A = this chain, B = another copy of it.
Amino acid sequence: MEYRQFLQIPGPTNIPDRILRELSRPMINHRGPELKKLVAEVVEGLKEVFRTNNDILIFPSSGSGVLESAIANLFSPGDTVVCASIGVFSERMATIAERYKLNVKRIKKEWGKTITPEDVKEVLKKDKGKVIKAVIVPHNETTTGVTCDIEGISKIIKEMDHPALFIVDAVSSLAITKLETDAWNIDVVITASQKGLMLPPGMGLVSISSKGWEYYKESTMPRWYWDYKAVKDKIKANQFPYTPPTTLLFGLKEALNMLLEEGMERVWERHGVIAKAVRNSVRAMGLELLADEKDASNVVTAVKLPESINYKDLSELLRKKYNVVIGGGLGQLEGKIFRIGHLGAISYLDVYAVMGAVEMALYELGYKLKLGEASKILAETFVNIVL
């Protein structure tokens, strides 16, 4: 028997049936009036989700592609940028920048720690000549389940009156964790379809400020596909410079309907409540969290594996017996942690089930815990929530 799966990795997420049905729509002309209408509608909706009046750019691409797009559009070889490096995905951005011959100043932390406004302040303070062209920070590092204080970092940059562009990798945080693009003066926000937007992978999204466009003008990098101006000009006319991922646009429209029906504040709040309850239930199992509570992510929770437990055993038992798919440790954390995604169309009962499965699977693998404790903790949280 094939049961419905709980896909609890930090993206792609479980896709709601409202969106799945849209994905099976017949194809339309990418230069015709139906597409133009669709583009106009989704751009409008995206602005509400990004909380911005900046330009929104859409690419057929994974999240990594749009990370690269920012480097290829906004800088030139030899430019200096500050990059957080606190996990696979923030380090990936630094690596991409180096591939393009940027001079990358990493703010490196032990994996599991976050980048604070203070960290940024320190780096900028030393930059007497104001050569730093950009500060690039992930809103959420999915490798470790850590959030960066984007609002705080934004304030520091402003406070120090530093001219650096502020670029936020919000691939895994948009429509999950509070992000105020305009209010927080974020010049470039980068995201992708398969996380908070609850869509299949294959679409990258970027918002860019007028200051960002100034940077664009200076850039000498080779590019055609990623060229921001070409995409902007076409999207202004509700078109694309090349064939867009039409099917994902069908889905995006419905995803935006769902998010805006709920309201962004409630979306953020729901993720916050659930993430906190997950962490509490992890502690109730006697397990240790990778991240400090104050930095912990609303997207994904990284849990240290008990010494006695092998990740492969745990994930296979969860998948085969309980239909729960979790994520493992990446890079240096491989075999040391497991990760539970709790993003997208996630309900209280979904995490109740998922954490129950984790508890049962750990128990079955010989880990000592009191069955039912995790559920009790979650229940104690959820019964107090008033809809």
Contacts and interface: CB of A to CB of B under 8 A. Distances in A.
A371 B352 CA distance: 12
Given A349-B353, A359-B379, 18 more contacts: A1-B270, A2-B345, A3-B345, A4-B16, A5-B28, A24-B24, A60-B62, A62-B225, A62-B242, A202-B245, A349-B356, A352-B356, A353-B353, A356-B379, A360-B383, A363-B383, A371-B380, A376-B376
A321 interface: yes
Contacts of A56: none
Interface string A10-36: 011111111011011111111110000
29 contacts: A1-B345, A2-B18, A2-B345, A3-B350, A4-B4, A4-B14, A4-B17, A6-B349, A11-B243, A12-B27, A15-B27, A21-B24, A23-B24, A30-B201, A60-B61, A62-B225, A62-B242, A63-B243, A68-B224, A99-B222, A101-B222, A192-B243, A201-B243, A202-B245, A222-B222, A364-B383, A371-B376, A371-B383, A375-B376
Protomer copies: 4
Interface residues of A toward B: which range? 35 or more
Interface in A232-280: 241-248, 258-259, 261-262, 267, 270
A130 B341 CA distance: 55
A39 to B, nearest CB: 14
A373 interface: yes
B2 A26 contact: no
Interface stretch (A118-126, A180-188, A293-301, A322-330): A322-330
A27 B7 contact: yes
A103 to B, nearest CB: 14
B372 A376 contact: yes
Interface in A309-325: 319-325
A191 interface: no
A382 B353 contact: no
A100 B360 contact: no
